[in-house]
Amino acid sequence: MASGWMIAAAGWMFAWFNSKTQEERKARIERVNEQLRDFYGPLLACVTATKSAYDAMVKQHSPNGSAAAFQERCIHDPTGPEAKAYRVWMDKVLQPLNEKAASIIAEHIDLLDAQHVVPELLQVGFAQKQQDASILYASDVTQVTSPGAHAYASCR
């Protein structure tokens, strides 16, 4: 009789631990799905679109198709066609993508799995926005860099 109760208690404990393990596994899977759906997926899409748009801008407006030549032209002639094209692309294409990436980071930073948050990830919204705005409206185009480069580097 006592052995029957022990078997029942052992069965109950096994069922309880098994149920608890399955619930924890489901919670981990749901967390990963939420991270991919709400944070990493949209952030990767924005960063990839920004990089592709920047590459297309350089290819279209650089004298020889290279970023170095494009940057050199913008630096030496801030009122030239390359610098004007850069400001238009920045205003209409690149900056909205940067702002979207910064918004995704700000809204879903809780989904980041890390012991510590990489400072560049937190700065991507503020610093990139500030840098791009100063380049967009300044007549001195001496700091032409790849928009979204900070976000791209942080996502690798």
Provide the pLDDT for residue 122.
63
Furthest-apart CA atoms within the chain: distance in Å: 95
- Residue showing tokens 């393990």: 21
Residue 128 and residue 91 in contact, taking contact as beta carbons nearer than 8 Å: no
pLDDT at 156 over 60: no
More confident residue, 2 or 54: 54
pTM: 0.66
Q: What is the dihedral of CA 67, 72, 77, 82, to 10 degrees?
A: -10
- Mind listing the pLDDT tens digit for each residue in 12-49? 999 999 999 999 999 999 999 999 999 999 999 999 99
Query: Which of 88, 96, 86 lies closest to 129, judged by CA?
Result: 96
SS3 of residue 145 by DSSP: coil
Residue 120 and residue 150 in contact, taking contact as beta carbons nearer than 8 Å: yes
- Mind listing the pLDDT tens digit for each residue in 89-141? 999 999 999 889 888 988 888 888 776 666 766 666 455 445 445 544 544 44
